[in-house]
Structure 1
Amino acid sequence: MTKHSYLLGIDVGSSSIKVSAIEASTGNLAGATVSPEQEMSMQALKPGWAEQDPDLWWEHVVTATQKLLENTDITKDDVAAIGISYQMHGLVVVDKNKRVLRPSIIWCDSRAADIGEKAFHNIGPEKCLHNYLNSPGNFTASKLRWVKENEPELYHKIHKIMLPGDFIAMKLTNRICTTHSGLSEGILWNFKENKLARDILDTYAIDEELIPEALNSFGDHGELTAEAAEEIGLKKGTKVTYRAGDQPNNAFSLNVLNPGEVAATAGTSGVIYGITDSLGYDEKSRVNTFVHVNHTAEQNRYGVLLCINGTGILNSWLRKQFSIESTLTYSQMNELAGQASIGSDGLKILPFGNGSERIFENKEIGAQVHGLNFNRHDKTHFLRAAQEGIVFSLYYGFQIMQDMGLTLDTVRAGHANMFLSPLFRDAFVNTTGTRLELYNTDGAQGAARAAGVGAGIYSSHEEAFESLKKIDLLEPQPEKRKLYLDAYQNWLNTLQSNL
């Protein structure tokens, strides 16, 4: 490893593509870029649908990487390895020529929920939960079955299916493969037997040949082809050495690797992700268990994931609606929200307008506003009620995780997305009653560090995280907590009357 050796992390989100580089010897951030500058759109041809074009993701990976090289002193010869983080649960299908056959059915698309529910009962709830720790639900396998049922001609052209990160890795290396963690996020993994869930394939009548080879999250996932290297601006032969879904990767980014450790993020969706070494599950599959990035047959590591689809996307929607007369920044929104009191003077928002929610057993209840008074409420109340509604939703699911036996005393989060908001942090800490540790990292930086582990540049996870810095610690305040819990109870009453 030389002084000028860099590790590249690519984070494929549903809002944007972020590319970061860290200097391998110091772990310091050397540069970061985002593309596009405005958030990517999702296509919703029917209610509950959400699709994106995988080739558009690749275009923005190219643009962001080229911008990073232009804006720093990093050259193509300096990049030692690449890691990939990606939006989970999406379905990408390609033909024998590796051409995309249809837009990706992404994570917040609800169309396959009924298919997953039917399979859950056909296979048997007990068998599903004991072997797969989840219902097939609205995950990747169910989405593929939807394609088979509704687009049979297209289905017969499929050579391989992939997750979004698998697709980007294919574009870089021309190699189609996935990971064990990736199979688990598609509900294609048998936890009891540590292998592909063939019963799911049989139930859905899916040919096993469509499933790519599965690798560990860390290791040799291929090398940049000459074509990809020329397009992206890097060196041919640069190794891709890590891949993980955004939430396992966010946990890795925060050095959350062992039982009892918990990570959180609040981007387009909001997630709490806790690590366990036992095969636990929620009987209603309202939270989900996946193979964590550092899982091995000898050392079991699983991630229990609570997801709220409607998080940052609600904040983004409000920003667009409230910016009619002037451009409103997220920082300004946070400042305005802070002007309203805890509980938003009785205004309540249910932030569930981004597809079916797992915590409601895949019901789609939609976003709702309750208690609006034209004579009392203004923009500040709306903005605060949105942030409180998101936190209250996370707390609702938080309690399901606690019922599963997870210890949730301290939560780690990157100083990014909605955790940039002082109000959001305050509401989170005092509603959940947990300590919140904030770190100077994000998903792209985490993927870069992980690439160093996968390439053997770092000899251990501990070495990879030597430069990770805790930048703040927040603890609950009893007086504030009482106010937030009162507001939560009012919000919960409203939610329960609308389920």
Structure 2
Amino acid sequence: MLLLGIDVGTSSIKVSVVDAQSQRVLQSVQYPDNETEISSPQPGWAEQSPEMWWEHVGIAIQKINASGLFNPADISAIGIAYQMHGLVVVDKKQQALRDSIIWCDSRAVKIGDDAFNAIGEDKSLSRLLNSPGNFTASKLAWVKQNEPDLYSRIDKVMLPGDFIAMKLTGEITSSPSSLSEGIFWDFEHEELSEDIINYFGFDKGLFPEVKPVFATHGCLKADVAERLSLRTGIPVSYKSGDQPNNALSLNVLEPGEVAATAGTSGVIYGISDQLFSDPKSRVNTFAHVNHSVNDRRLGVLLCINGTGILNRWAKNTFGNNLSYQEINQQAASVSVGANGVRILPFGNGAERMLGNKLIGAQFHRIDFNLHHSAHLFRAVQEGIAFAFRYGLDIMRENGMNPTVIRAGKANLFQSELFAEAFVNSTNVPVELYHNDGSVGAALGSGIGAKVFSSEKEAFLNVKSIKLITPTMTEQYEPVYDDWKRILEEQLTIK
């Protein structure tokens, strides 16, 4: 029996086919080869076309089926992972009414702040576990305020993965995990938040049927199945935001376990069985994939918008057609601290861990006679690692103290220099795994379709490939302290 996983990322679509019995990946493909652009009609805005996602999903599935490494007729379940917090709205004909306002869009910050004050700090943090902030509910309110004609034509509101599932099956569903990441979920009553619905004046009919993450969210339509060379009726049996899914793919399911990723954005994601909220909403809490009323599992998420996107920008701007491997080699030729260059990686929208401030990426202390591209490449990776440390300290303030962090050997964690900077800045060992969001989604579909008897069974073959331990903290700590002073100076500027 084969399982198909789809990962709807910001930069590309990735799909994988996994053999359920062995949990072996038979093939993975990505489309497009070049990273998908983000549309920014105004400063601080970020949008992508849902129909583009769907087109790319279809191409990726056709590409993987054409590999000849498996029989597409043996695929028995589909799972979907997706970029979190995006707003997708469709009409009664299931047509997208506008481009998706995606996760790093900053236009709704004030709307969310006003909602937080009106609903009240205590109620927001105790029931929503977050400020409405710059999340999906606030983005929907922005559409309601600024595009009233379009808003009046909305039939259903959804997250990006819900849209892809709809295109596959014709059915629209959601889950407590998805709704919580949009700040639509009341954890006290385990239902749609009346506080959010009433404050923003949303109609409850806009929201899809709520099902568990591991459930049948529709079955593959005949016309879609024919186009994609798949069997009609295959269930979409799992949908999850990319960070809960990344944690699932690393077998991070129980309280105290922690995952990290460093792709376009950077995330540390820890599991708790307690209703958790940061008083300043700098880190956020959502329902994890295995959360239930009787067995609480919450994901505490630190997000840094500007991580891999900064590394890519530096490569494209200063790399002179160098590969990432060549850039990493240049960066490693420079000593810790990049000879004084400091970079703040906050150039991809308002940062929640900075109180939703938008300070932009910043380069400090560049000397034209002293520094060259290698110093910049090193300072970029150190600056990203320092942002992780800054955020992890916020999590520590709130009682989350990981003794080890699990991460996939992907994106920035493929750089030995970045991994070194990360573990020595945070002083936490990192276990690296061969993992992938689309593989996690495939295994998730097996859990939802009851191919596996439990989450544990789905990950029996997940083994660490490398443990990286801190060995140079005394070299990194003063550099981090200097970086932090620069950041805090910028945060005081109004």
User: Deviation at 1:323?
Assistant: 3.9
User: Deviation at 1:227?
Assistant: 1.7
Q: Report whether the alignment pairs 1:485 with 2:481.
A: no
Q: Distance in 2 between matches of 1:110 and 1:441?
A: 30
Q: Distance in 1 between matches of 2:356 and 2:227?
A: 41
Q: Distance in 1 between matches of 2:89 and 2:191?
A: 22
Q: Distance in 2 between matches of 1:227 and 1:312?
A: 38
Q: Report whether the alignment pairs 1:246 with 2:242.
A: yes
Which amino acid in the other structure matches residue 263 of structure 1? A
2:110 to 107, 114, 119: 114
Instruction: Indicate the residue corresponding to 1:497 in structure 2.
Output: 489
Q: Is the 8 A contact 1:123 1:203 kept in 2?
A: yes
What whole-Å deviation, never above 9, does each CA across 1:287-320 have from its counterpart, x for those lacking one?
0000000011111000000000000000111111
Mapping for residues 439-478 of structure 1, pairs under 5 Å: 439-477=433-471
Q: Is the 8 A contact 1:158 1:210 kept in 2?
A: yes
Q: Is the 8 A contact 2:27 2:69 kept in 1?
A: no
1:77 alignment partner, SS class: helix
Which amino acid in the other structure matches residue 318 of structure 2? F
Q: Distance in 2 between matches of 1:153 and 1:252?
A: 40
What whole-Å deviation, never above 9, does each CA across 1:377-411 have from its counterpart, x for those lacking one?
11111011011111101110101111111121100
| TM norm structure 1 | 0.97
Instruction: Indicate the residue corresponding to 2:421 in structure 1.
Output: 427
What whole-Å deviation, never above 9, does each CA across 1:151-177 have from its counterpart, x for those lacking one?
000000100011000000000000011
Unaligned runs of 5+ in 2: none
Mapping for residues 62-101 of structure 1, pairs under 5 Å: 62-101=58-97
1:82 alignment partner, SS class: strand
- Aligned structure 1 segments of 4 or more residues deviating by more than 3 angstroms: none
User: Deviation at 1:462?
Assistant: 1.6
2:359 to 354, 365, 385: 365
Identity over aligned residues, as a percent? 54
Instruction: Indicate the residue corresponding to 1:298 in structure 2.
Output: 294
User: Deviation at 1:472?
Assistant: 0.2
Mapping for residues 328-343 of structure 1, pairs under 5 Å: 328-343=322-337
Aligned residue pairs: how many?
491
RMSD of equivalent CA atoms? 0.8
2:392 to 398, 402, 407: 398
Which amino acid in the other structure matches residue 490 of structure 1? D
1:169 alignment partner, SS class: helix
What whole-Å deviation, never above 9, does each CA across 1:305-355 have from its counterpart, x for those lacking one?
00000000001111111244xx22111111111111111111000000000
What whole-Å deviation, never above 9, does each CA across 1:90-137 have from its counterpart, x for those lacking one?
000100000010000000000000000000001111110111110000
Q: Distance in 1 between matches of 2:395 and 2:224?
A: 42
User: Deviation at 1:75?
Assistant: 2.2
1:257 to 253, 257, 263: 253
Q: Distance in 2 between matches of 1:138 and 1:337?
A: 35
1:10 alignment partner, SS class: strand
Q: Distance in 1 between matches of 2:281 and 2:431?
A: 28
Instruction: Indicate the residue corresponding to 1:48 in structure 2.
Output: 44
1:303 alignment partner, SS class: strand
2:345 to 348, 351, 361: 351
User: Deviation at 1:232?
Assistant: 2.2
Instruction: Indicate the residue corresponding to 1:31 in structure 2.
Output: 27
Q: Distance in 1 between matches of 2:332 and 2:340?
A: 15
| TM norm structure 2 | 0.98
Instruction: Indicate the residue corresponding to 1:154 in structure 2.
Output: 150
Q: Is the 8 A contact 2:423 2:468 kept in 1?
A: yes
2:467 alignment partner, SS class: strand
1:470 alignment partner, SS class: coil
Q: Report whether the alignment pairs 1:438 with 2:427.
A: no
What whole-Å deviation, never above 9, does each CA across 1:405-444 have from its counterpart, x for those lacking one?
1121100001111100000110111110111000111111
2:389 alignment partner, SS class: helix
Q: Is the 8 A contact 1:30 1:72 kept in 2?
A: no
